[in-house]
Amino acid sequence: MDAKCKLMIGILVLLWFRPELLSGQSGTDTLSIHLVARAMEGRIVLRWVPVDPAAWMHGNQYGYQVVRTTLEEGRNTDRLVLAKQLLPIPEQAWKPMADTNHLAVVAAGSLYGSVFEIPAQKEFAHSGYDELETTTNRFSFGLFAADQFIDIAVGMALGFVDTTITAGTMYCYTVSFTGPGAHIIQHPGGIVISADQRIRLLPPTELTAQWRNQSVRLKWNRSRIDTLYTGYFIERSEDSGVTFTRINKSPLIYITPEGTYDPYMYYVDSLTNNETTYHYRVRGKTPFGELGPPSALISGKGKRASLTTPPGIVFMEELPEQSGLMIGWVIDSAAYGRTKGFNVYESNEKGGIQTKINHDLIPSEIRQFILDRPVHGHYYRLGLLDDTGHELLSTAKLAVLHNDKPPLAPTGLRGVMDQTGKAKMYWNAGSEEDLQGYRVYTGNQETGYYAELTYLPVQDTIYQHTYSMNTLHGEEFFKVRAIDLRGNYSEFSKPERIVRPDLHPPAPPAIAKVKSESSFVYLLWAGSSSRDVVHHRVERRALDEPNWEQIAVIDHPSSGYNKFSDSSATSGRQYQYRITATDQNGLTSTSTPVQAGKIDHGYRGSIRDFSAVFDAVRHKLLLSWQFEHLDKVDRFLLYRAQANEPVSIYKTLSGNIPGLKIEGKLAWFEEVVLSSGKRFQYRLLAVLKDGSYSDLSEPLFVDH
């Protein structure tokens, strides 16, 4: 394989996997071609496209060179120029093709038309439609036409058919630009293909048909074969599939709207009549002019158009002694001979869910039907079923039957009211079939006057009403009575009470005594005097904090005195305490806060093992002791006095004083003391960093 052919193969692979090279090059200094090929019996068909309008216009003006290199193992390759300067055919040469193929007109117009307009152009008359946009449209529509027919591609110099091939031979084809631009940067198209290489074409699948009046809508799946075919032909047979006729002269193509994808293709065909059985199949067409295998057959007949005029109910007559309801109707003259039968439907409201009354289809010659158990106030419709299976429904008619028996009085009344005065009233539903609804009445006395709340009967068994809360009445009452479709009223129900919610908070508790101890704070208070109090909450907050903390809940507290001891408070810290009462409606009231806290004496442990050693030879005194909180000590105060005299501060021992040493919980202090023959008393006190202190140690007597 020669170097040039290897280069073309590399370019082809690059273009195939890097499609941006096909659209991203638009400069005048770079010309690129994308080439594909298909081997068929006795020929290899080449198809190529310049990757942008500038390259396409260069090719139209100066042409293309087609070179074939024969690749054989063991001997030199043979290079042959198949076309030295391949140009589009002249304008006049397009006429014979354009007479039979309208896409040839598009192709010729893109090459030679002085003005190239597309149908949508008129919609953009003020959008800056310029020469560059015109060139882009010429390029796009020209390539589109070439993709549909190989003859158009060859005429546009975008295709070539090599009929001089030898079976079993491998070829390398290159297509490059000619003319003055050939010396600048260009990416020729290149491909390697065997004369024996074949592509298996697949048939369209999932072909279905919707048969209509003298028309049919075909549908098939194109998703699996979309990369094989650029268009489809529909073929029809009227002789049981013996011969087929192509019914679309141009290939049927699919243009995907932006942002959508439909894997199916559609085609609507007109039928001569609804009596003939038609057979359809679909075949795909490749950009190389190949026809793929046909799809499976779909067969059928057109369906006769359905009737359009519904029947009309002309009377509904109640039979004597409530024995039934007779319905009579008429049909349009066009329905004679095309009516299979009738159905009667019932619904409890106009436009509601319908229930079919008759079990069997009423014969087409019948014009009357008797309902055995009609319902007053229900609606009835007649359905006409025609010979296409379509049913036409008449206008709904209301049944008005005679009946003077009133419904029963409602039962099961209950009502609730919230704090805003909104009340909900409930009752049990009546069992009468002709029940129209209910009317609701209210009053503020059980045996007094009741005013009606409902302007029209309500069909539900719940009613809402808002009462004024600016009243001293603690309760309201309501009654309900039922009404049927004939206007017959039931007796009033028994009155039901609606209790008004309590809007007043309970009386506040009062703290009577507070006592601070070292281990707890004691509280004593008088409970709320309100009867509906459910609990008391004991709350506290530190003086330097804004939020209250609940520390105890006393359920069902006494209206007398209650008590509580708070042992969880921090010693030395001051708090505010209060008691909050809550009633059964969630309303609260709070006592006046009081201030208290656990007593803090300031003691933090004791000095232990306080001892001394006097060295008379060295004239030194060594004091030692233990203290549990040595890490928290700020300083020690050492007291001294002669044996029987009151002690006073002798020295302050802190971390930087000479002679002081601390390890763990043990401390030493050493100092020079002259021998005097006197007896001295020592005592020690630890002062902590937080200001607290230890107990004063026991006296320690040392002879100097």
Give the tens place of pLDDT for each residue, 453-466.
999 999 999 999 99
Can you tell me whether residue 12 is helix, strand or coil? helix
pLDDT value of residue 130 = 56
pLDDT value of residue 92 = 93
Alpha-carbon distance values, 226 to 147, 223, 286 (Å):
14, 5, 10
Are the C-beta atoms of residues 379 and 395 closer than 8 Å to each other? no
pLDDT band for 132, please (50, 70, 90 cuts).
low
Burial of 355 (0-12, 13-18, 19+ CB in 10 A): exposed
Which residue carries 């295709």 as its tokens?
Answer: 159
Helices (H) and strands (E) in the chain, counts: 7, 47
pLDDT tops 80 at residue 304: yes
pLDDT value of residue 473 = 81
Burial of 489 (0-12, 13-18, 19+ CB in 10 A): middle
pLDDT band for 237, please (50, 70, 90 cuts).
very high
pLDDT value of residue 390 = 92
pLDDT tops 70 at residue 286: yes
At the top level of CATH, which class does the domain 510-596 belong to? mainly beta
Contacts 24+ apart (CB under 8 A), 96-100: 97/151, 97/152, 97/155, 100/249
Q: pLDDT digits over 96-128, tens only? A: 998 888 889 999 999 998 766 554 443 333 333
- The third-level CATH classification (topology) of the domain covering 608-703 is Immunoglobulin-like (2.60.40)
CA distance 456 to 213: 50
Does the CA dihedral 521-527-528-534 come out positive or negative?
positive
Q: Vertex 66, ends 64 and 70: CA angle to 5°? A: 165
pLDDT value of residue 75 = 59
Taking residue 447's Cβ as centre, other Cβ atoms within 10 Å add up to: 8
Tell me the residue type at 254. Y
pLDDT value of residue 582 = 93
Q: How far is CA 64 from the centre of its chain?
A: 55
Q: What DSSP character marks residue 65? A: E
CATH of domain 205-300: 2.60.40.10
CA distance 34 to 187: 9
pLDDT band for 78, please (50, 70, 90 cuts).
confident
Alpha-carbon distance values, 618 to 1, 610, 653 (Å):
112, 22, 22
pLDDT band for 42, please (50, 70, 90 cuts).
very high
Taking residue 274's Cβ as centre, other Cβ atoms within 10 Å add up to: 15
pLDDT tops 50 at residue 580: yes
**Paired sense of beta strands 379-386 and 339-347, if any:** antiparallel
Are the C-beta atoms of residues 142 and 155 closer than 8 Å to each other? no
- The third-level CATH classification (topology) of the domain covering 312-398 is Immunoglobulin-like (2.60.40)
Which residue carries 């996997």 as its tokens?
Answer: 17
Q: pLDDT digits over 541-576, tens only? A: 998 899 999 999 999 888 789 999 999 988 778 999
Where along the chain do its domains lie? 3-194, 205-300, 312-398, 414-499, 510-596, 608-703
Proportion of the chain above pLDDT 90, given as a percent: 61
Which residue carries 């309100």 as its tokens?
Answer: 530
pLDDT tops 70 at residue 188: yes
CA distance 268 to 285: 19
pLDDT tops 60 at residue 610: yes
pLDDT value of residue 202 = 94
CA distance 477 to 467: 11
User: Quick one: which of 683, 687, 677 has its CA closest to 697?
Assistant: 683
| Average pLDDT taken over every residue of the chain | 87
CA distance 525 to 610: 50
Q: How far is CA 557 from the centre of its chain?
A: 52
pLDDT value of residue 339 = 95
Q: Please report which helix (H) or strand (E) contains residue 139, including its range.
A: helix 131-148
Are the C-beta atoms of residues 316 and 325 closer than 8 Å to each other? yes
Are the C-beta atoms of residues 386 and 307 closer than 8 Å to each other? yes
Can you tell me whether residue 230 is helix, strand or coil? coil
- End-to-end, the C-alpha distance of the chain in Å comes to 119
**Joined tokens for residue 278:** 């038609």
Tell which CATH classification among 3.90.226.10, 2.60.40.10, 3.40.50.620, 2.40.160.50 matches the domain 3-194.
2.60.40.10
Query: 234 — phi, psi (to 5°)?
Result: -105, 130
Its pTM stands at 0.46
At the top level of CATH, which class does the domain 414-499 belong to? mainly beta
Length of the chain counted residue by residue: 704
pLDDT tops 60 at residue 231: yes
> Fold identical between 510-596 and 608-703?
yes
Q: How far is CA 37 from the centre of its chain?
A: 47
pLDDT band for 72, please (50, 70, 90 cuts).
confident
pLDDT value of residue 617 = 85
Residues 198-215, mean pLDDT to the nearest whole number: 93
pLDDT value of residue 18 = 34
Are the C-beta atoms of residues 232 and 303 closer than 8 Å to each other? no
pLDDT value of residue 644 = 85
Q: pLDDT digits over 263-283, tens only? A: 999 999 999 999 999 999 999
pLDDT tops 60 at residue 6: no
Taking residue 101's Cβ as centre, other Cβ atoms within 10 Å add up to: 19
pLDDT tops 60 at residue 528: yes
Positions of E strands within 517-647:
521-526, 533-542, 549-555, 561-566, 575-583, 588-590, 594-596, 608-615, 620-626, 633-642
CA distance 671 to 31: 104
